Amino acid sequence: AQKVTQAQTEISVVEKEDVTLDCVYETRDTTYYLFWYKQPPSGELVFLIRRNSFDEQNEISGRYSWNFQKSTSSFNFTITASQVVDSAVYFCALSEEDDSNYQLIWGAGTKLIIKP
C-alpha cells in the first residue's frame, strides 16, 4: 500500500535560519511521482515540485531545494535563509505512473512558522 509520512507536525524557526521538512514514502511500484505543495494562510494549495522515481538528482530553485533518496524512501525539502513569507503548511504527496490512476496520496502536512 502507498503511504506518505510527514513526521514533523509543526516547525518554528527564526527568520534567516535554514529549515528541512521531512517526507518519507512507501510504495511497491517502481515508477512513481513525488510532489510538494505549499498552503499559505490564504488557503490555496500551490504546486512546488514534481520528481519521478527515476530521477534522483537534487533540485534547487532559488532558496528551495529538494533531496530525493530512493535508498531511504525520502524526499526532503529544505528552505535556505527562511523568510516570514515561507510560513505555510507544506504537504508531500505520492502518485503512481498508471494513466488510470487518479489518487494523490497525501502526507499530513508540516506547519512551518517563520518568526521575524
Q: Is residue 7 a contact residue for another protein (CB under 8 A)?
A: no
Nearer of residues 100 and 116 to another protein, judged by Cβ: 100
Instruction: Give residue 58's Cα distance to chain centre.
Output: 13
- Find the part of the chain contacting another protein (CB under 8 A) among 20-28, 67-75, 77-85, 97-105: 97-105
DSSP category for residue 24: E
Q: Is residue 102 a contact residue for another protein (CB under 8 A)?
A: yes
DSSP 1-18: --EEE---SEEEEETT--
Q: Tell me, what amino acid is at 73? A: S
Nearest in space to 24 (alpha carbons), one of 14, 38, 34: 34
Q: Is residue 107 a contact residue for another protein (CB under 8 A)?
A: yes
In the complex, which residues of this chain contact another protein (CB under 8 A)? Answer: 32-33, 35, 37, 42-47, 50, 52, 91, 95-99, 101-104, 106-109
